[in-house]
Structure 1
Amino acid sequence: MPQSEVGFHSVFSGSPGTGKTTFARLLGKILHALGLLENGHTVEVDKAGLVGEYLGQTPMKVEAAFDEADGGVLYIDEAYSLTHDTEDLYGREAVDGIVKQMEDRRGRVVVVAARYPQDMRRFIHSNPGLKSRFNRSICFEDYDSAELLSIQKQILRSNGFEASEGFLLRSELLWQKLYRDRLTYDGNARMVRTALEIALENQAARLVRKPDKARHELCEMLPEDLDGVEAQLREDHDA
């Protein structure tokens, strides 16, 4: 039977830390496993990786990015930055080059553009070629407090740490408070990673002060390891 081409170019919209980049890396592997992409690797670029220093250089940089991504996924982070300034000729030149390469390499490169939802709508409508080629859109919702706690548990477990019941209870209260105060939306999973970095520094300082340490204590997280975490996260958010 004749084969019909199906486009997989996608727009990923959502706040930072919601998993857009992680899923873009998985998408290449999935499409490769299905026999839809030759290699399945993911190449990540931003505006600096696509725009040249002078007019005429940009198409070469765009083509080079597509060459590297051939057989896989080209992930354009902060894609809206290419079109947010209507006077930016370099950004417009990059978009024109992207549209051309998407057509020339149909079936060989899957392009994923990512940014905040409102910015991505403007990006797609900035060029008729983009609107017709990006036929899939996935919105990555912000994580709630229970999901943030689950992410924290997973990160600890994957790194060989054990969380005590007191640590988990205090963590649950921490994420509930930050989520209630709408402070987690700008960081999501990234905020969890920052919180754990502070907690692990606290744990290290605690263990240094203890002369005799059992092996299991080196991997155990206690409630006091969360001291100062909330204050630091709030300060980082307000900075």
Structure 2
Amino acid sequence: MDTQVTYKQNGQINVMFQDRNTSIAKPKPTESTSYLTNPFQNIDNQFEDFIGLDSLKDTIKEIYASIYVNQKRQEAGLKPSKQVLHMLFKGNPGTGKTTVARKLSQLFYDMNVLSKGHFIEAERADLVGEYIGHTAQKTRDLIKKAMGGVLFIDEAYSLARGGEKDFGKEAIDTLVKHMEDHHNDFILILAGYPAEMDKFLRLNPGLHSRFPIMMDFKDYSIDELMTIATQMASEREYELSKEAQWKLKNHLMRKKQDRQQSFSNGRYIRNIIEQSIRKQAIRVMQQNRFSHSELVLLTSRDITFDT
């Protein structure tokens, strides 16, 4: 399945389509996209639309600062420090793990950390083979495609579910070897539910030390979810009426009180907004009113929760 990849160069938004497991190099950034001028502000700008990720921004600034200072140390004849950037993301579905990983592939390319900056998303089936030796070859091939970019493996704990005799262990061993051998050529990001990822690390004690950067993607608060809803509607050139906002917020509060996990992330909000836009389209057609205000307004009648 093709994946849409967007990146910015010289003020222009560029769009490419690539197979999920195919590497495509982006054009090298010019001086206008370099991070030499106001680098920390540039990082803030890159993530300004992301809700609740302040610690991530701080981590990226630390990475940039380390890279920049290392260059200065080399210029001064000093030994640069090695920096391994493999990461582990822990969070429930819809908390932004994949979106952030994809964004980092572009950002690290712009920072000259990665030579290509492409993003490859994989799952267990992309690494685990059907017979002895097949898994190691599949995993090596995937890593080869990821060279110069980011390899993102969601639900990574599934590689350890089959026990000692499962081929998933072979995939883990192959990943670990290449993480050490090629740590300057690609970045591996493993992601999944917090509890399962913690268990995964306990089952494979050698893995913990190989991921110096671990990020917790917390469930969004009610206020953050409302900000996301407003942001998503605005991106589509819609507005939520006051009544619609109250209805959505009350619904989310009830969900939280019921301790229903499925609501507490951006994916659930996206589904509500998209469904509400469809409901609004039916309402507008039935009313046969197509003024600008009617076309952009999502009312409480449009907000539904059949997701």
TM-score by length of 2: 0.70
- For residues 99 and 11 of structure 1, the distance between their equivalents in structure 2, rounded to whole angstroms, comes to 13
User: Matched residue pairs, number?
Assistant: 230
- The answer to whether the 8 A contact 2:135-2:171 is kept is yes
- The answer to whether the 8 A contact 1:144-1:179 is kept is no
Is structure 2 residue 267 aligned with structure 1 residue 190? yes
Give the Å deviation of 1:215. Answer: 3.1
Is structure 2 residue 98 aligned with structure 1 residue 13? no
- For residues 82 and 191 of structure 1, the distance between their equivalents in structure 2, rounded to whole angstroms, comes to 27
Tell me what 2:99 maps to: 22
Q: Which 5+ residue runs of structure 2 have no aligned equivalent? A: 1-77
Is structure 2 residue 282 aligned with structure 1 residue 215? no
Is structure 2 residue 222 aligned with structure 1 residue 151? no
Tell me what 1:73 maps to: 150
* SS of 2:224 mapped into structure 1: helix
- The answer to whether the 8 A contact 2:139-2:171 is kept is yes
Is structure 2 residue 205 aligned with structure 1 residue 131? no
* SS of 2:203 mapped into structure 1: coil
AA partner of residue 284 (structure 2): L
Give the Å deviation of 1:63. Answer: 1.2
Tell me what 1:162 maps to: 239
Give the Å deviation of 1:4. Answer: 1.9
Give the Å deviation of 1:128. Answer: 4.2
- For residues 263 and 88 of structure 2, the distance between their equivalents in structure 1, rounded to whole angstroms, comes to 19
- The answer to whether the 8 A contact 1:15-1:186 is kept is no
Give the Å deviation of 1:125. Answer: 3.0
TM-score by length of 1: 0.89
Q: Which 5+ residue runs of structure 1 have no aligned equivalent? A: 234-239
Structure number with higher relative contact order (C-alpha < 8 Å, ≥ 6 residues apart) = 1
Identity %: 36
AA partner of residue 176 (structure 1): M
Give the Å deviation of 1:200. Answer: 1.6
RMSD of aligned Cα (Å): 1.7
Q: Which has the higher helix share?
A: 1
